[in-house]
Amino acid sequence: MLTWKKRTSRIISEDFNKIFTFIDFLLINKKMSQINFKGSISWFPPNPKDGKQTIVKLCYYPDNKFMFGIRKEYTDLNNITEEVTPLCTHILGVPPQSTVKFLGFFVQYNKPDLEKIKTIIDMMPANSKY
């Protein structure tokens, strides 16, 4: 069993940091590492094939808007796209890798959105292909 040590983000927004902590807690059990960027946080597998390939992303937008996303290529490889897509409202590319597509939705720090995030993360297989 892994032990979880609370990590922090560089983004100064109480709600963003609460959402980040929630996601980080769920993904540490899947052995995911995370990196803070200027406007987002990315999680990636422990031994990515081609460098640090983001699987899950939490983005910060102006006016305290946040977007949760999971890499579409990952959902396709793991045969979970059909289950994930109905929970998401957007397909987005995030700079600087705008060609990489994520299935996502705007998220707030509330129970329905956190449950949706948990549902998606729970769909991620323990021995995922990526």
- Whole-model pTM? 0.86
Q: Is residue 9 part of a domain?
A: no
For residues 113-124, give the mean pLDDT: 96
- Mean pLDDT across the stretch 60-70? 90
Candidate ranges 56-65, 108-117, 121-130; pick with highest mean pLDDT: 108-117
- Decide if 78 is inside a domain: yes
Residue located via tokens 């579409």? 72
Give a yes or no: residue 96 inside a domain.
yes
Is 7 inside any structural domain?
no
Looking up residue 83, the CATH number of its domain turns out to be 3.90.1150
The reply to whether 129 falls in a domain is no
Residue 8 is predicted with a pLDDT of 54
Give the residue numbers spanning the domain of 62: 14-123
Residue 53 confidence class, pLDDT cut points 50, 70, 90: confident
Best CA proximity match to 30, nearest among 113, 125, 119, 114: 125
Q: Over range 37-60, report the average pLDDT.
A: 82
Helices 14-28 + 111-123 axis angle, to 10: 30
Count of structural domains, the chain: 1
* pLDDT level of residue 3 (50, 70, 90 thresholds): very low
Confirm whether 128 is domain-assigned: no
Residue 49 pLDDT grade (very low, low, confident, very high; cuts 50, 70, 90): low
